[in-house]
Amino acid sequence: MSLDPNNYSLLLSVNYPEDLRLLQKHQLPKFCDELRRYLLNTVSQSSGHFASGLGVVELTVALHYVYNTPFDHLIFDVGHQAYPHKILTGRRDKMHSIRKFKGLHPFPWKEESKYDVLSVGHSSTSISAALGLAIAADKEKKNRKVVAVIGDGAMTAGMAFEALNHAGAINNDMLVILNDNDMSISENVGALNNHLSKILSGEIYTQFRESSKKILSNIPPIKEFAKKTEEYLKGMVSSAAIFEEFGFNYIGPMDGHNVIDLIDTLYNMRNHGGPQLLHIMTKKGKGYKQAELDPIGYHAVPKFTPNEALPTNLCKTPTFSQHFGQWLNDMADIDPKLTAITPAMREGSGMVEFSKRHPDKYYDVGIAEQHAVTLAAGMSIAGLHPIVAIYSSFLQRGYDQFIHDVAIQNIGVLFAIDRAGIVGADGPTHQGAFDLCFLRCVPNLTLMTPSNEQECRHMLYTGHLLNSPAAVRYPRGIGIGQVIGDTMNELDIGKANVVLKGKKCAILCFGTLLQAALPVATQLGATLVDMRFVKPLDKILLDELAKTHQQFVTIEDNSIAGGAGSAVNEYFMSQKYLLPILNLGLPDEFIEQGTQEEIYKLLKLDSVGIEVKIKAYFNS
Residue 369: active-site member: yes
Torsion of CA 37, 42, 43, 47, to 10 degrees: 160
Q: Of 42, 43, 25, 35, which is closest to residue 60 (Cα–Cα)?
A: 35
Cα separation, 496 vs 502, whole angstroms: 16
Q: Residue 421 carries which side chain, given as an amino acid letter?
A: G
Length of the chain: 620
Cβ pair 277, 250 in contact under 8 A = yes
Catalytically annotated residue among 397, 440, 476, 535? 397
Cβ pair 246, 180 in contact under 8 A = no
> For 450, what's the count of Cα atoms within 13 Å in the CB-facing half-sphere?
30
Catalytically annotated residue among 34, 369, 455, 556? 369
**Cβ atoms within 10 Å of 6's Cβ, excluding its own:** 6
Residue 419: active-site member: no
Q: Of 283, 287, 276, which is closest to residue 197 (Cα–Cα)?
A: 276
Q: Residue 418 carries which side chain, given as an amino acid letter?
A: D
Q: Of 185, 338, 160, 300, which is closest to residue 252 (Cα–Cα)?
A: 185
Q: How far is CA 479 from CA 319, 456, 483, 511, 529, in A?
A: 7, 10, 11, 10, 17
SS (H, E, C) 526-567: CEEEECCEEECCCHHHHHHHHHHEEEEEEEEEEECCCCHHHH
Q: First vs last Cα of the chain: how many Å apart?
A: 49
Catalytically annotated residue among 91, 99, 284, 476? 284
Q: Of 375, 440, 424, which is closest to residue 401 (Cα–Cα)?
A: 375
Residue 397: active-site member: yes
Which residues on neighbouring strands pair with residue 249, listed in sequence order? 276
Q: Which residues are catalytic?
A: 284, 369, 397
